[in-house]
């Protein structure tokens, strides 16, 4: 029995049963709703009347729609704003957390982010960022700050273009490798069909870096004395001077003074006719053998130099007797 829809030529008006003339039961297949096809929005070219699978730009990889930013990611998972998710359908990096941007500028364009369900979300800021990995840092050149976004999306195209890398997917997870050296930069599992990248929150990284830098304000203010920093810290709570014992090498080199020695008129004609000696120490760093000083002997005629390490300064006379 054929169940295809059939349109008969009835002789009466508004009587569909006359046209069938007993040719079998009426078809149960519903008619196609043309109005739903007119309202369908394509996710590739953003035009109505067809879906993405029937789009004529589907195989044209050079096609780019500048007026809209696309994000084809879709999931019912609860979002974690510290994590990134790889999205092969996103044209730019998208984040809801402004802390992921190291440099920000207000977005003045008219483009909006179009999600996979057709929803449009406005863009507030644009900028750059860095994604730390165990093998280095991945540069995120084009990040759009979208406050109403549920997930932080990494554009696979933008990521591979800016870092010269390759992203491969499998049912078990993903791998990001350097294109030249084939070195593994990052890898992760696939959880419920999502390829996530665990990321540490930027505020935690900033607090850690501040604690590990000694004498930060001493360097920022042009290497002032400790007493000057103490006076400034009284009226400015942001200035801290806790590293009093830190030795600043820059201050030692810049503020050191050299005594004026008279020009020597002595001329030597044989070895050991004149020997110059000097003692250096106390060193702030103890050597492996426990030495803190050293004494030098320089022959004026040959300019040959001898260096003897010392644990104490009182050993100079004993070393000199052995040298002579």
Query: What 3 state SS string does 53-69 have?
Result: HHCCCCCCCCCCCCCEE
Sign of the Cα pseudo-torsion (70, 73, 79, 84, in order): negative
**Do the bridges between strand 136-145 and strand 125-133 make them parallel or antiparallel, or are there none, so unpaired?**
antiparallel
d(CA 321, CA 315): 10
Tokens 């092969």 sit at which residue?
A: 88
From the number of C-beta atoms within 10 Å of its C-beta (0-12, 13-18, 19+), residue 86 rates as: buried
CB 191 within 8 A of CB 207: no
b vs e for 184-216, b when ≥16 Cβ sit within 10 Å of the residue's Cβ?
ebbebeeeeeebbbebeebeeeeeeeeeeeebb
d(CA 25, CA 45): 43
CA distances from 239 to 28, 60, 80, 127, 225 (A): 81, 58, 35, 30, 14
SS3 138: strand
CB 309 within 8 A of CB 294: yes
Active site residues: 87
d(CA 306, CA 295): 8
């Amino acid at each position: 029995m054929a169940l295809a829809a059939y349109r008969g030529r009835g002789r009466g008006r508004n009587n569909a049963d006359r046209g069938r003339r007993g040719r079998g039961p009426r078809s149960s297949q519903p008619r196609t709703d043309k109005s739903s096809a007119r309202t369908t929005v394509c996710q590739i070219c953003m035009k109505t009347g067809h879906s993405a699978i029937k789009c004529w730009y589907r195989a044209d990889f050079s096609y780019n729609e500048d007026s809209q930013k696309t994000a084809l990611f879709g999931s019912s998972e609860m979002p974690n704003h510290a994590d990134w998710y790889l999205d092969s359908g996103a044209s730019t990096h998208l984040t809801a957390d402004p802390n992921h941007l190291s440099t920000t500028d207000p977005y003045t364009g008219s483009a909006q982010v179009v999600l996979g369900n057709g929803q449009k979300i406005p863009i507030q800021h644009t900028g750059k960022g860095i994604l730390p990995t165990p093998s280095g840092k991945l540069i995120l050149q084009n990040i759009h700050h979208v406050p109403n976004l549920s997930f932080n999306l990494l554009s696979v195209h933008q990521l591979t273009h800016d870092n010269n890398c390759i992203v491969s997917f499998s049912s078990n997870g993903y791998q990001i490798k350097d294109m030249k050296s084939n070195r593994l930069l990052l890898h992760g599992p696939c959880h419920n069909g999502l390829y996530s990248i665990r990321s540490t929150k930027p505020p935690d990284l900033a607090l850690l870096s501040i604690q590990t830098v000694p004498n930060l304000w001493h360097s920022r203010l042009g290497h002032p004395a400790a007493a000057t920093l103490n006076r400034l810290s009284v009226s400015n709570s942001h200035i801290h001077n806790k590293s009093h014992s830190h030795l600043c090498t820059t201050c030692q080199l810049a503020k050191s003074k050299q005594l004026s020695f008279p020009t020597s008129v002595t001329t030597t004609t044989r070895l050991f006719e004149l020997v110059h000696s000097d003692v250096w120490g106390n060193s702030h760093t103890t050597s492996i053998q426990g030495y803190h000083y050293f004494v030098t002997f320089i022959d004026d005629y040959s300019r040959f130099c001898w260096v003897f390490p010392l644990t104490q300064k009182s050993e100079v006379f004993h070393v000199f007797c052995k040298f002579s």
